[in-house]
Amino acid sequence: SDSAGRTNELARRGAAEIDRSIRSMTEINEVVTELAQSIRDLGRQSEEIGQIVTLITGIAEQTDLLALNAAIEAARVGEEGRGFAVVAEEVRSLAEQSGRAADEITQLIEGIRESAQNSVGRTALGAEKVKEGMEIASASGEMFSGITQIIEELVREIAEVAGASQQLAAGAEEMSATTEEQSATAQEMAASAVEVANAAVAVDGQLNRLRL
């Protein structure tokens, strides 16, 4: 009974631990889901930034073209357009720098986008694994609950058997005591019969003597 009780307690603890594991994995699943959504948002924002960079690249190219045309027109004017030509060259240089910066930003965005896609894939896989773990833990929890119920039934049955055994033992003791009493009574009756027989023999002897 003690062993069954300890086993029952261990089963209860196991079921409680599994329940706590399920709650923890549920929280992890929520965090992973939120993380995946954040990464998807990051990817979408990087796409928007990429569109802006594309716009900047287009503006830089147009500015470079306008600066080139302005330099050509300034060269046609001659000495009077030299100052304008210098300004046009500076504008063209800034446009080229803007274009290079836009290219670098585009490469960075592509790297971020690729990393985001990989991260989304990994988080999705992690969420799937967590889901599988939750299903396994849930099944284990149900098994532990079933085992706990079986053990509780066994404990009750053992208690009933123990009670019945005690009753049988008490009945056996009563029967033993009754048997001893009956044996003593029988012995007393036998002794009395012997005494009666002896007395009868004695009486018979006296009668025989009187007849003589």
Using one digit for the tens of pLDDT, what is the confidence trace for 70-105? 778 777 777 776 777 777 778 878 888 888 888 888
pTM of the model: 0.48
Greater pLDDT, 192 or 210: 192
Ramachandran class of 78: left when φ > 0, alpha when ψ lies in -120 to 50, beta otherwise: left
What's the pLDDT score for residue 208? 61
Q: How far, in Å, CA of 134 to CA of 137, rounded? A: 5
Q: Is the pLDDT of residue 211 over 60?
A: no
Please tell me what DSSP assigns to residue 81. G
H/E element holding 129?
Answer: helix 82-211
> Domains of the chain: which residue ranges?
2-150
Sign of the alpha-carbon torsion through 106, 109, 111, 114: negative
What's the pLDDT score for residue 82? 72
What's the pLDDT score for residue 3? 63
What's the pLDDT score for residue 121? 79
Query: Pick from 9, 170, 127: which is nearest to 135 by CA?
Result: 127
Q: Can you tell me the mean pLDDT for 96-123?
A: 81
Sorting pLDDT into bands at 50, 70 and 90, what band is 203? low
Query: Pick from 68, 75, 73, 58: which is nearest to 91 by CA?
Result: 68
Greater pLDDT, 66 or 209: 66
- CATH of 2-150, picked from 1.50.10.100, 1.10.443.10, 1.10.287.950, 1.10.3720.10, is 1.10.287.950
Highest mean pLDDT pick, 4-8, 18-22, 54-58, 139-143:
54-58
What's the pLDDT score for residue 212? 56
Q: Can you tell me the mean pLDDT for 177-205?
A: 68
Q: Is the pLDDT of residue 1 over 60?
A: no
Sign of the alpha-carbon torsion through 199, 202, 208, 210: negative
Q: Can you tell me the mean pLDDT for 135-158?
A: 77
Q: What is the pLDDT of residues 9-64, one digit of tens each?
A: 777 777 777 778 778 778 887 888 888 788 888 878 888 888 888 888 888 888 88
Greater pLDDT, 186 or 107: 107
Query: Pick from 4, 17, 29: which is nearest to 129 by CA?
Result: 29
**Contacts of 82 by beta carbon, 8 Å cutoff, 6+ apart:** 74
